[in-house]
Amino acid sequence: MKPSLQVKSIQVQRIRYVWNIYAKQFQKVGALEDHHTCSAIHAKFGSGLTCNERNVRKVICGPNTIDVPVIPVWKLLIKEVLNPFYVFQLFSVCLWFAEDYMEYATAIIIMSLLSIFLTVYDLRQQSVKLHRLVESHNNITVTVCRNKEGDSCFQELESHHLVPGDMLVLKEGKTLLPCDAILISGQCIVNESMLTGESIPVTKTHLPQADNFKPWRMHCAEDYKKHVLFCGTEVIQTKADDTGVVKAVVLRTGFNTAKGDLVRSILYPKPMNFKLYRDALRFLMCLIAFAAIGMIYTVCVFALNGEEAGEVVKKSLDVITIAVPPALPAALTTGIIYTQRRLKKKGIFCISPQRINMCGQLNLICFDKTGTLTEDGLDLWGLLPCERDCFQDIHSFPADHSLPWGPVFRAMAVCHSLIVWEGKIQGDPLDVKMFEATNWVIDDSSGHKIEGQGSTHATVVRPGPKASSAPVEGVAILHQFPFSSALQRMSVIAQEIGGEQQVFTKGAPEMVAMLCRAETVPLNFESKLLLYTAQGFRVIGLACKSLQAGKQSTDLTREEVESDLTFLGLLIMENRLKRETKPVLEELSAARIRSVMVTGDNIQTAVTVAKNAGMISATNRVILVEANKIPGSFSASITWKPLEENKTEDYRGLAKAMGLEPRSPRVFTSAAPVQDDSPPTTERRIRLALASGQYHFAMSGKSYQIVAQHFRHLLPKLLLNGTVFARMSPGQKSSLVEEFQKLDYFVGMCGDGANDCGALKVAHAGISLSEQEASVASPFTSRTPSIACVPELIREGRAALVTSFCMFKYMALYSTIQYLGVLLLYWQLNAFGNYQFLFQDLAITTVIGVTMSFTGAYPKLVPYRPPSQLISPPLLLSVVLNILFSLSLQVFGFVVVQEQPWYSKTDIYSACLSVNNHMENSSSISSLGLHGMRDGAHGQTDNGYKSYENTTVWLLSTINCLIVALVFSKGRPFRQPIYTNYVFILVLIGQLGICLFLVFADIDDLYSKMDLVCTPTTWRISMVIMLAVTLAASFLVEEAVIENRPLWLLLKKTFRYHSKSHYKRLQRVLEQDSAWPPLNETFFSDSVAISVEGSMGGHSNPTFDSNEDAL
């Protein structure tokens, strides 16, 4: 009998961990072992796994699936219904049905069901959307190579059977990758837009068969990603080598893959903790405590008067439903639904409605650069050709005359890695723009016979219909040395059809110039370069050389090819800001909302774009923070260098005055460090800017990671003034957002690519400008790909937050007003009648609750935010004072009515002579007794509720609810003035009209139905005067005290109150620190580093190249 293979395993957030009996710990599985060398991967996995090896790996690693089931509706329903708010509503409804208070109970049931349905529908839609994103991954048929007794055989199987180490065979045509894999033979062109957000085809080359002892990833260094095919990406073209097949070894499966990591970041976001929702529960606890006092009072009053036990229990429980408003959740949901609808009209879609209120608190927005602040691609601005070590006149694009034939033209036509895919030229936007400027075309035939080269898979470029005449039929690209971020360049070997072979190189101008013969580089090279980079242009250097005849292009090494080049000139590209970028950033700055750039682009471009966009003003200084690991040790260093701005102006001034640019020190970019011998005036100017806090830090992703590991104590200080974060990987973007949140910032993230997914999910409000994968992770998605949606969302968020506070205040006052009225009447063993309750609950409060939220957002963003918590002094003072006004009003009315000469406790018709015909029907309250509150016992003449106190207290409390609604309906500065909410104003006028009609009307049937009694006209006028005084007092206090911002600021200053936010405290500390920031100084860390590899945010995207030296 065969022993069965069993392993102990656990699953944490969809990642499997297996018990290692030797190490005595759980170990992560689902990926190929890291220790294999390049040659070992070729040798061990090159011919496929045996059946036995595969079975063992399948048991340990599990199936290769990214399985996200759609959450059943019943589960979502149960989770929502068990919300404490709805549990309380159920209790209230049951009690009301027991008391025959059917109408309002039915209304609350309908509103609650609607609220639950909308929430469940939203959650279900999210679940379905995510399921659809991943379901295609699990049903792919793949070809694998199996090793059967030393012989390799191919078999087709479902992708969920794949295990790490399996050998995949990639066929021609499009293929969606179901796992991460290492390419070991042939070449692939892959579309990685799902992960990087950029639909640029990427060329993947096979893993070299290097025979050394280094693990394959260390041997390949940062270029290892060029050999890895990532899950979820699409192979669009394969090119086989001599073996005739394109093969790849499975590296990672399931949730360990790049796509699995993205899905996990969506499934398991960091939980949001917003003060409003915490305070809402505290608010309810206070109301319940308030109700408990009323319950004790009720039990005492009725028990002492000999009421039945059952009735006492009913009445005391009823106090809770009066003091705690059951309509509150429905009213709040209504407000959010209206905001969601307004956002939808403006092209902003929301899949997480509870985040809308958070948008009202945002005070820091992180922006991606490419496609978010700037246009997606680059535009060709000009070409600065060089002949005989001198720059010629600049050739501007688009130009009237086409570019003349020559070495520069040939370089632009062939020095790229473009392909023709689906009839369109695809590749790096820079390459596309450069090639399009030549008006040549790519001949995408499968193979071309090139003289002296045999049959080769060469790409041929030929003059297009619009091209200027050229003396050649076309040029073949024989061999490519792909772009390397470490080398900062790419090269091709090309041959004119019927001509000689030539090398063309393009890359970072400084790097290209170093590879050129010195006599071919112009003397004013550095000053010209600085002139253009300082203006935010992207500058590319071009060079070429001829190759000796007879040499096979494949035999040449990269070092041989890229040496002794001839400098051809500079290609100047422009990455234009979007039209809306600058006004939006200015609006945010005016509203004191910080803007931070988090980009994968290089630091010089990022700093220049930040300046052009207005993130960094012209008078502010930029300090480059560079952190490096010290080779051979576990410590690191950090240096602060001011970036030089003044030389740019010097060059411009001199250029204008002399007509040429002077030779400068060897400085290549606008972001060059100031040398130690810089003039004292510059140093003084920088120090002055720093003293006034007008400085910004800029750092790369590499420096950020080293600071997080080795200089953890400096990170908060750097983040406080950090404005530009360049070369950031997706994991670092997420980590940065979390670090800002630790400083108590409310962080928004605005991005357009899937590489922003983690950060979009982690931020308090993530705004995606793309409708691709990023929109699944992001709570908000904008239909228009522009950052104009950011201030729009903040405006609506602020309005929604203020509306929520207004609703809380109104609901608290309405329930308190009703609660005080009922307790006053309990003193006389009386209460409100069913229709009196129904009128207040349904006709007044429910209608107000629904219409109060119609008020739109104020169009201007003010430089301060609404309060973030319910329990804030102004809000509490407003509630307390209005409760006191209501208490005074009702007690005054209750007491004074008993002092009136016409008042009679036993004869409720004595006040009006016009109702003599009812005299014989009058009876005392004490003789009838009180038959229970809201019990539906309607007598034809008197049901035990009618009394002068009841009529007075009910009319005063009902109109008081209208007064409170008007006073609490705030307009500016966060919402539009209240008169713009026409529906609400009409509702209030209508309700006031009905109430005044009830006060002054004397219709017997109506009064009998509403349990009211007739009172003299003088008393009715007295009640209106009391209400007018209450309105005046309430309005005056709200406007002169509660909404008086200068008064509260003065009180804060007087009592020396300071914000408790971490970043505010840190700001105060750094203002006193004259040594911060330390300019031109280097610090060294201790040798103990904090490991942050695993904590770099929720989503780490392995396709992203975070090398800071890339172009």
Tokens of 1004: 């017997």
**Residue 376 carries which DSSP code?**
S
CA gap 713, 184 in Å, rounded: 44
Paired tokens of 877:
């003072």
DSSP 846: I
Q: Which H or E element spans position 248?
A: strand 246-252
Tokens 């170093």 found at = 514
Q: Are 910 and 890 in contact (CB under 8 A)?
A: no
DSSP 844: I
Which residues are bridge partners to 229 per DSSP? 181
Paired with 154 in beta bridges are 145
- Residue 1090 identity: I
659: region left, alpha or beta (phi > 0 left; psi from -120 to 50 alpha): left
Q: How far is CA 997 from the centre of its chain?
A: 52
Please report the sign of the dihedral spanned by the C-alpha atoms of residue 414, residue 419, residue 423, residue 425.
negative
119 membership: H or E segment, kind and range? helix 102-135
Give the residue among 1016, 997, 1017 at the shortest CA–CA distance from 1007.
997
Q: Quote the Cα angle for 45-46-47, to 5°.
A: 95
Task: Give CA torsion, residues 1048, 1052, 1055, 1060, to 10 deg.
Answer: 140
Distance of CA 534 to the CA centre of its chain: 31
- Angstrom distance (rounded) from CA 380 to CA 378: 7
Alpha-carbon separation of residue 423 from 176, 443, 478, 642 (angstroms): 20, 11, 22, 48
403's tokens = 């570019």
Q: How many CA atoms lie within 13 A of 266 on its CB side?
A: 27
| Residue type at 1048 in one-letter notation | W
Q: Which of 167, 216, 269 is nearest to 40 (CA)?
A: 216
Backbone CA torsion sign across 659, 665, 671, 676:
negative
| Distance separating alpha carbons of residues 851 and 830, to the nearest angstrom | 33
- H-helix segments, 766-833: 774-777, 789-826
Supply the Cα-derived Rg of the chain in whole angstroms.
38
User: Tokens 């038959």 identify what position?
Assistant: 931
Alpha-carbon distance of 761 to 270, in angstroms, equals 8
- Given a contact cutoff of 8 angstroms between Cβ atoms, the answer to whether 832 and 945 are in contact is yes
Count Cβ atoms below 10 Å from residue 127 Cβ, excluding itself: 18
The interaxial angle of helices 328-345 and 84-98, nearest 10 deg, is: 130
Q: Are the C-beta atoms of 194 and 261 separated by less than 8 Å?
A: no
d(CA 258, CA 757): 12
To 10 degrees, the CA torsion angle through 183, 184, 188, 193? 10
Residue 541 β-bridge partners: 507, 570
Q: Distance between CA 511 and CA 899 in Å, rounded?
A: 98
DSSP category for residue 72: P
Alpha-carbon distance of 391 to 7, in angstroms, equals 70
Query: Which residues carry out catalysis?
Result: 368
The DSSP bridge partners found for residue 421 are 424
